[in-house]
Structure 1
Amino acid sequence: MKQQVPEHEVTKPNIIFEIIKKVNSNNKEWQENRALQERQQKITAKLSEKFPTRESLVDYLANYCLTRQREHVQFAKKKHFSAKKLSASTVAVGELFEKLVGAENDVFDIYSEINGIAKQEKSEEQRHREIVFIDVLTHPERHGFPTIEYFNIPDIPFIVTWQRDHLALKAVAEVKSGKHLDARAYQQLLPFGIRNSIKITLERLNSLKPEDARRRGLDGFGVGKEMYMLKNFDHLVVLCRDMNTDDKEELIERKGFSDPEEFYEFKKMLEGRHRESKVTLVKSSISRDELTAIFSSIVSDIVKKYKETSPQIR
Structure 2
Amino acid sequence: MIQTLPLDYFMASVGIIILYLPWIIVVINNLQQAYYATNWVRVSVSFDFLLKKWILSFSCMFIDLDFGFYNIGTYLLRLLFLIIIAWGIYMVCRYCNLSTKLFILTSIFIPFIILVIPDLVQGGKRSAITRYLIPCFPAIYLSVAYLLGKYLSQKYWRVVLGILLTASITSCTVSAISDTWWHNAPSYFNGEVAKKINASDSPILLSDLGVNYTNRGDLISLSYILDDDVRLLLLNNSPNFEIVENESEIFVFRPSERLREALKAKQWEFESVVNEELWKVKNSSLMDN
Normalised-by-shorter TM-score class: under 0.3
- Point out the structure with the larger helix share: 2
TM-score by length of 2: 0.26
TM-score by length of 1: 0.24
Which structure ranks higher in relative contact order (CA pairs < 8 Å, sequence separation ≥ 6)?
A: 1
